[in-house]
Amino acid sequence: MSLTIRPYQAIDLQSLRDLTVEAFEGVSLEHDIERVVGEFGGHDWRWRKARHVDADVDRDAEGIFVAEGNGAVVGYVSTWIDAEAGVGFIPNLAVAASCRGQGIGRQLLNRAIEHFRSRGVRVARIETMAQNDVGRHLYPSLGFQEVAQQVHYCLDLGEEKNARE
Ligand SMILES: CC(C)(COP(=O)(O)OP(=O)(O)OC[C@H]1O[C@@H](n2cnc3c(N)ncnc32)[C@H](O)[C@@H]1OP(=O)(O)O)[C@@H](O)C(=O)NCCC(=O)NCCS
């Protein structure tokens, strides 16, 4: 497969949404929340996760890089920069299941890091779920150092309301 990593274009949006929904099954906070409280608000976790891509585009479309293989979108990384703080954030990274294990994720991250360097960023930040074995292998292998682990809580206000009635 001939692979190109190129800047995001508006025409990529739906492909990125689709890729995200496929890739983050079992490795996203949105899915974890659904496992705890079930579906709510008339939407499932996929709908909520796809909105993260919209948020990434709204925040910094120029900070998104797309991996294209044989004319198809096969992965992407999103970034944004707090220039004043000197910090670059990588909120989302995904590679199509059929294309994993070929170094595409690594190339996308290297592109994000290159982008940060070119903008004078001092510290790059990325997060992964504790259960995400690939992230926990890949990020340290690129030099990312573990800083802290976090516990996420959610309160089901529908349940709370029912319990009080
Ligand atoms: C994370 C992801 C983008 C990586 O993409 P990829 O193209 O497969 O990544 P690469 O091929 O560059 O590297 C994967 C690395 O993980 C390793 N790996 C694969 N499966 C693994 C596992 N179960 N446990 C530990 N390491 C694993 C590979 O050996 C490779 O490491 P190496 O280069 O040292 O051999 C892709 O797996 C994905 O889209 N996952 C679902 C979404 C996701 O988790 N995104 C990141 C959220 S923080």
Q: What is the pLDDT of residue 128?
A: 95
Residue 161: how many other CB atoms lie within 10 Å:
9
Give the β-pairing of 123-126 and 3-7.
unpaired
Q: What is the pLDDT of residue 139?
A: 98
> Which pairs from 140-149 meet CB under 8 Å and 24+ separation?
141/106, 142/106, 142/109, 142/110, 142/113
Write out the H or E segment, with its range, that includes residue 79. Answer: strand 72-82
Q: What is the pLDDT of residue 114?
A: 98
Instruction: Output the residue whose Cα is nearest ligand 1's atom 35.
Output: 101
Q: What is the pLDDT of residue 161?
A: 61
| CATH fold for the domain made of 3-164 | Aminopeptidase (3.40.630)
Q: What is the pLDDT of residue 162?
A: 63
Nearest atom, ligand 1, residue 100 CA: 8
Name the H helices within the chain.
13-23, 29-37, 45-60, 104-118, 133-141, 157-164
Q: What is the pLDDT of residue 165?
A: 59
Give, for all 165 residues of the chain, the pLDDT tens digit.
899 999 999 999 999 999 999 999 999 999 999 999 999 999 999 999 999 999 999 999 999 999 999 999 999 999 999 999 999 999 999 999 999 999 999 999 999 999 999 999 999 999 999 989 999 999 999 999 999 999 999 999 997 666 665
Nearest atom, ligand 1, residue 27 CA: 44
| pTM of the shown model | 0.95
Domain boundaries, the chain: 3-164
Instruction: Output the residue whose Cα is nearest ligand 1's atom 4.
Output: 105
Mutate to test the pocket of ligand 1, among 53, 133, 134, 136 (most ligand atoms within 8 A of CB): 134
| Listed residue (144, 74, 75) closest to 116, CA to CA | 144
Q: Are 78 and 92 in contact (CB under 8 A)?
A: yes
Q: What is the pLDDT of residue 1?
A: 82
